Amino acid sequence: MHSTFAGQLKNFAYAVDIIDEESYQDIRDLILDYSRRVLDIDFTRQLVLSEVDGEQALMPYGPSIEGKYISISMRNNDGQLKTQAAYSLANDCPLWIISDDPEHLHLSEANAFKDLWKGATDIPTYRYPSGEKRDVPIKTSILIPLRLHGQVTGVLNFETQEHLEITKMAKAELKLIAEAISLMYGNMKNHRQSVNHTAKAIAELNNTLQHPLPKLTKPRLFLASSQRANGDVVEVIKAVLDEHFSDHLTLVYWKDMAQPGNINTQLLEVLGKCRYGICYLSEPIEDSNLYIDNPNVIFEAGMLHGRSEIGHKFPASWVPVREKTSNIPPFDLTSERMVVIERDEAGEIDNVDELKALLIKRFEMLLA
């Protein structure tokens, strides 16, 4: 048996999984072309449910002929249905409207209307959908409710300047078209929602990447010291890290770096990748028991300090260490909680166990 256009259209609607907005518009154009050929239809429009001030309204789907469409409330202030499309949707009934006013066959001029589909009565006055020309002499308006999953979601409207008599074949064909439109419109809306959700999810992923992320590997800690720094302090630091934090931190000590190339460039690159740092600022002044801060270590400490601000893209936390008899620390570092090295008269660390306990506490605070 030969299948009609509407029958094939409905089969297509059931078979297709994804319909984007461009494809949906192409299908609507095919329907318009078909309805013009077989019924001399001048306008085919889909009216979808919307809202105006919290009340149900109808709005034509798609681009308007002149300017933009606006939603038309379904009811006036007295609660009466405003338009024939609103009547069709509210009563969930198809309408085949012609004039019942012998002196005015154009619907826009008629004072009475006749429904050829089911003989509906008390039909509201005819109104053009907002945004369209009002000088088109429409004589027949066909309205079919659109249902999706048991709910009426809009109205499919066919209009022509001809006076069309109703036929069983026309009713069946147009109902099939309405059913297919409902299926494909729901498919298109789901696809659009999926695309929007995907775009939102991608944006959220991108936003996540703009914030500090926890490393899946052990974070690195950079140990900075002067070439002439006292080895006893460096050894205590390394011992504490090895004994208590080897499972949590990877130590990067500049003296252990053996790659060929410019050492200063390598230091800056490695320092930028370290999440934590400890800077032993002091170096001894020759022929004295006094100490002075090394400029290079101060610079490296400044790099870590600059990344300690909340919200920095590549944050860092660090621990400053300096000798008690060092000169006054740089202004920017005075607010940092220093680990101060105290020495006895022989120049040895006054209390190694106390220093280790203090370093353990500071490292635990870094990792907390």
Structure tokens at 325: 């008899």
Q: How far is residue 96 CA from its own chain's centroid?
A: 45
pLDDT at 145: 96
Rounded Cα distance between 81 and 125, Å, is: 9
343 C-beta neighbours (distance < 10 Å), count = 17
| Predicted confidence band of residue 251 (pLDDT cuts 50, 70, 90) | very high
Query: pLDDT above 70 covers what percent of the chain?
Result: 89
pLDDT at 150: 85
Domain 220-367 has CATH 3.40.50.10140: yes
Q: Please state the domain extents for the chain.
A: 5-188, 220-367
Residue 157 belongs to what H/E stretch? strand 151-160
The stretch 242-247 carries a mean pLDDT of 93
Rounded Cα distance between 92 and 88, Å, is: 6
199 Cβ neighbours under 8 A, 6+ residues apart: none
Residues 339/320, Cβ–Cβ less than 8 Å: yes
Rounded Cα distance between 28 and 10, Å, is: 13
Which one has a higher pLDDT value, 305 or 25? 25
* Equal CATH topology for 5-188 and 220-367: no
363 Cβ neighbours under 8 A, 6+ residues apart: 240, 241, 244, 245, 249, 319
pLDDT at 120: 95
pLDDT tens digit string along 211-223? 666 667 788 999 9
Longest dimension (CA), the chain: 122
Residue 261 identity: G
pLDDT at 24: 92
The stretch 79-102 carries a mean pLDDT of 94
Which one has a higher pLDDT value, 271 or 170? 170
pTM over 0.75: no
> Hey, which residues does 156 pair with through a beta bridge?
46, 144
The stretch 43-56 carries a mean pLDDT of 88
How long is the chain? 368
> Hey, which residues does 46 pair with through a beta bridge?
156
Please tell me the least confidently modeled range out of 65-69, 83-87, 206-210.
65-69
| Predicted confidence band of residue 1 (pLDDT cuts 50, 70, 90) | very low
Say if residue 366's pLDDT is above 90. Answer: no
Checking 31-36 for CB contacts under 8 A at 24+ apart, the result is 31/177, 31/181, 34/5, 35/158, 35/177
Say if residue 198's pLDDT is above 90. Answer: yes
DSSP H helices in the chain: 5-15, 21-39, 84-90, 168-209, 231-244, 263-273, 295-306, 352-367
pLDDT at 132: 62
pLDDT at 63: 58
Please measure the distance between the N-terminal and C-terminal CA atoms of the chain and give it in whole angstroms: 76
Checking 263-271 for CB contacts under 8 A at 24+ apart, the result is 267/300, 268/303, 270/220, 270/222, 271/222, 271/224, 271/300, 271/303, 271/304
CATH of domain 5-188: 3.30.450.40
> Hey, which residues does 9 pair with through a beta bridge?
none
Which one has a higher pLDDT value, 7 or 208? 7
pLDDT at 65: 41
The stretch 216-232 carries a mean pLDDT of 89
Residues 112/148, Cβ–Cβ less than 8 Å: no
Rounded Cα distance between 8 and 13, Å, is: 9
Rounded Cα distance between 262 and 217, Å, is: 27
pLDDT tens digit string along 256-281? 876 676 767 777 788 888 889 999 99
Mean per-residue pLDDT over the chain, rounded: 87
